[in-house]
Amino acid sequence: MRLPEFIYHEPENLQEATNLISEFNGRYGIIAGGTDLMVKMKQRLQNSQYLISLDRIPALKTIKEKADNIIIGSMNTLDDIVNSEIIKEKLPCLKQAAWEVGSPLLRSVATIGGNICLNTRCRFYNQSYFWRSSRETCCKAGGHVCHVTNQEDACYSTFVADTVPALIAYDASIKLVGVDKTRKLSLADFYTGDGRMPNQILKGSNEILTEIEIPIPKDDIRSVYHKFRVRESIDFPLVGVAVMMKGIEEKHCQDARVVFTGVGSAPVEAKLAREKIIGQQLTPDLILEVATMAVSELHPVKTDLMSPNYKRGIAQVLVEKALRDVGGVNNGKDD
Ligand SMILES: Cc1cc2nc3c(=O)[nH]c(=O)nc-3n(C[C@H](O)[C@H](O)[C@H](O)COP(=O)(O)OP(=O)(O)OC[C@H]3O[C@@H](n4cnc5c(N)ncnc54)[C@H](O)[C@@H]3O)c2cc1C
Ligand code: SF4
């Protein structure tokens, strides 16, 4: 498959980049590592006349502590995340999730910003033009029908980025920079839940994601990321879950987050499960109850190889395992 023609720009600072965005309004694509974008362009799912690369903007490549936060520039590769001493020590769940993305080659160029802005996926959409043209165009690709649900004008393609559940569990926020405005918002609020335009940038906000800010977790926080995929060596998650718990050493949990990828058009936080766990002591019975509750909050549709029921079963196993890991609770069986 060949790439369509495009004109490539490499701005050397943010001002230049936002000026280009304004000049090419609607006709540009932002390219970070290009591991997802290049595939989409070859499949004719994105045809941008201009590509604006962020690779030569040094300000987007820092990882540092600032006051009580860790700041991660959006152009850090996933390898940079995995190898950063600050992240290894303070954000182990993020390190784990970044390490789970794709393969070593992919992680050496794929960026954390690209992972956060990753488009949703579907077995009827992420295909070549030739494959797709054998049936009616679905509504994510510009038509009116959905081949998964047979509904009109609604898309349930699935959010599958690995690092985002970990970032949301750590309460991350992001900085978005436009031509004449800069704003900060909670990462969870970045996602729209609409499979066609799953985040604010893809919806056309004309902004660049510049950095991620994460409050430095206190010493009594434990977290873990677990992922299930078909091919261990290289694959998107069918289900992924980040679990964070605070104060577990004090016996009674003070706070908890259970956040999924692979089960909806946006990352899904199991809020009832969170309420259930706060103030409780983690026991095998409670783990089972919380995992069952978390899964009852999921409504996956069949956008990949697995049925929704299979995904729910996997999610149950992953949450139980994650809760046992953070709580140091043994179920008496081998996994
Ligand atoms: C074989 C294969 C396996 C993969 N496996 C996984 C996996 O297991 N888990 C997973 O999560 N992903 C996976 N991916 C998807 C992808 O490689 C990663 O999500 C990667 O982190 C994307 O980052 P990138 O820098 O390459 O993004 P790009 O491809 O450059 O960009 C992705 C999207 O984000 C936008 N974008 C990027 N950076 C910014 C920014 N700073 N501001 C605004 N918009 C921006 C782009 O315009 C584009 O729409 C896989 C891809 C392939 C090809
Ligand atoms: S969920 Fe439906 S509309 Fe969305 S990409 Fe898949 S087939 Fe297309």
Closest CA to 105 of 244, 234, 250: 234
Q: How far is CA 72 from the centre of its chain?
A: 15
Q: Report the alpha-carbon distance of residue 37 to residue 126 in Å, rounded.
A: 12
Q: Which residue has the tokens 């995995």?
A: 82
Q: How high is the pLDDT of residue 310?
A: 96
Q: How high is the pLDDT of residue 327?
A: 84
Nearest CA to ligand 2 atom 2: 146
Q: Report the alpha-carbon distance of residue 199 to residue 195 in Å, rounded.
A: 9
Determine the residue of 36, 99, 111, 211 to mutate for testing ligand 1's pocket, defined as the one with the most ligand atoms within 8 A of the Cβ atom. 36
Q: How high is the pLDDT of residue 334?
A: 53
Give residue 155 CA to ligand 1 midpoint distance, Å.
20
Residue type, 278: I
Nearest ligand to residue 80 Cα: 1
Q: Which domains does the chain have, with CATH numbers?
A: 58-117+158-215 (3.30.465.10), 221-327 (3.30.390.50)
Residue 244, CB-side half-sphere exposure with 13 Å CA sphere: 25
Global pTM reads 0.96
Q: How high is the pLDDT of residue 224?
A: 96
Strand blocks (E) in the chain: 7-9, 28-31, 50-53, 63-66, 69-73, 173-177, 182-186, 208-215, 221-228, 239-246, 255-261, 268-269
Task: Provide the b/e sequence for 89-124 (b: ≥16 CB within 10 Å).
Answer: ebbbbbbbbbbbbbeeebbebbbbbbbbbbbbbbeb
CA dist list (Å): 308 to 262, 281, 311, 322: 11, 31, 5, 21
Q: Is 300 in the pocket of ligand 1 (CB under 6 A)?
A: no
Using alpha carbons only, what angle is made at residue 85 by residues 80 and 87, rounded to the nearest 5 degrees? Answer: 70
Give residue 114 CA to ligand 1 midpoint distance, Å.
4
**Partners of 185 in beta bridges:** 174
Sign of the torsion formed by the C-alpha atoms of 152, 261, 178 and 61: negative
Q: Is 125 in the pocket of ligand 2 (CB under 6 A)?
A: yes
Read off the tokens for 149: 């649900």
Nearest CA to ligand 2 atom 4: 155
Query: Average pLDDT of each block of 10 consecutive residues along the chain (335 residues)?
Result: 94 96 94 97 95 97 96 98 96 97 96 98 96 94 94 94 98 96 97 96 94 93 94 90 87 90 97 92 92 95 93 97 88 58
